[in-house]
Amino acid sequence: MALSAMADEVGSVGGGNGVPDRNGKPVQQPNSVLGPDRGGIVEDLPFYHEPVLKREVLAALKPGFGKQFLDGTTGGGGHSELLLTAGAHVIGCDQDEEALAYATARLGRFGDQFLPVPANFADMEQVFEEIGVDRVDGILLDIGVSSHQLDEARRGFSFSKDGPLDMRMNQSAGQTAADLVNEEDEEELGRIFREYGEERSWRKAARAIVSARKKEKIETTKQLSEVIGSVIPKTSARNPATKIFQGLRIAVNDELGRLEEALEKSADYLLADGVLAVITFHSLEDRIVKQFLRRTSQPYIDRPEWPEPKLNPDYRFNLPSRKAIQPSEEEIEGNPRARSAKLRVGVRIGDQ
């Protein structure tokens, strides 16, 4: 679906002169999703999500007046607000229409500095084409589930509150977690739990689900949690269904595939010295980002059978650090959900 059509479904406003191009000329923008109150004040809105690694993100992206950024996972608008406050322009993408409406209300005071766009970050080429921007100074991807999504029972992301087994980031498209749980065979469910959930008892979980759904459809988070709890014993403070829910969420939203797509496209839309900053929350995501940056930050590649090293055709980034940046103890104490966050950064080299 075209971005303009997606915007019309949620609510739109006429395009105007917003984010300027690199020559300072205004770019005509398409209709974009807006929340119920364009001029909303953040104090009037309920809590949505606490962004992680705020100081570290600012240090990596170095926002300032005249700079443009793509916040590929706008969520509640926390990171976007940091960039906007520093004077930058932000293109805020999110496939979750509720999140984008909230962020738009929260950031309404920044006017045309903030352009909300309903899209998945992996579709950035379509986003840039439709808004008339060629390249930006930075791309931020926060690959996590927001506090709002976890705490809102009807979204079905968490076993802590009973709700429909949904888990879709984009609630207007795709299969739900209930669809997968009730329709996929035991082998495919096992693969999802093993590869995406990294659950050791994936066979037991898959077998239990297939057995339980013969009696009645599994349609709620409570039902699924109870099925899993019947075959995976509780051995720690962690709920036995934690990794099963993680695996289903990743499968429902094709999170790893879309992340790989976005990473591969990112260099094409960054200016020289532009920054790619990616925040992950579990090992599967972090491994993908780490391997991508390693592969694209080596000027030369070598193999034992070659007489000498060769230029790396994928060389696109320099790395300020090969180690992931992690939250401070102070941040973790104030926001326990930041504990597993990791930030990796790549700086775009000039075109070769």
Question: Can you tell me the mean pLDDT for 304-319?
Answer: 93
Residue 164 DSSP code: B
Rounded CA separation 155/296 (Å)? 37
Q: By C-alpha distance, which of 103, 123, 136, 135 is closest to 32?
A: 103
**Two tokens, residue 193:** 């739990």
Q: By C-alpha distance, which of 212, 206, 204, 177 is closest to 190?
A: 206
Task: Kindly report the average pLDDT of the chain as a whole number.
Answer: 83
pTM, whole model, 2 decimals?
0.82
Q: Who wins on pLDDT, 235 or 10?
A: 235
**Reported confidence tier of residue 167, pLDDT bands at 50, 70, 90:** confident
Phi, psi for residue 277 in degrees, rounded to 5: -125, 125
pLDDT at 69: 98
Q: Who wins on pLDDT, 32 or 62?
A: 62
CB of 155 closer than 8 Å to CB of 227: no
Specify the range with the lowest mean pLDDT, choosing from 26-30, 78-82, 90-94.
26-30
Q: Hey, what amino acid is at 204?
A: K
Q: How many C-alpha atoms does 263 have within 13 Å on its Cβ side?
A: 30
Rounded CA separation 224/239 (Å)? 12
152 pLDDT higher than 70: no
Helices 242-253 and 221-229: crossing angle, nearest 10°? 130
* Residue ranges of domains in the chain, CATH in brackets: 3-148+256-348 (3.40.50.150), 154-254 (1.10.150.170)
List the Cα angle 62/68/73 in 5-degree steps.
85
Q: Hey, what amino acid is at 158?
A: S
Q: Who wins on pLDDT, 30 or 58?
A: 58
* Tens digits of residue pLDDT in 183-228: 999 999 999 999 999 999 999 999 999 999 999 999 999 999 999 9
* Tens digits of residue pLDDT in 85-107: 999 999 999 988 888 888 999 99
Question: Can you tell me the mean pLDDT for 48-72?
Answer: 91
Question: Can you tell me the mean pLDDT for 129-144?
Answer: 93
- How many residues does this entry show for the chain? 352
Q: How far is CA 92 from CA 33, 102, 116, 178, in A?
A: 10, 12, 5, 30
Q: By C-alpha distance, which of 258, 5, 251, 27 is closest to 118?
A: 5
Rounded CA separation 337/146 (Å)? 10
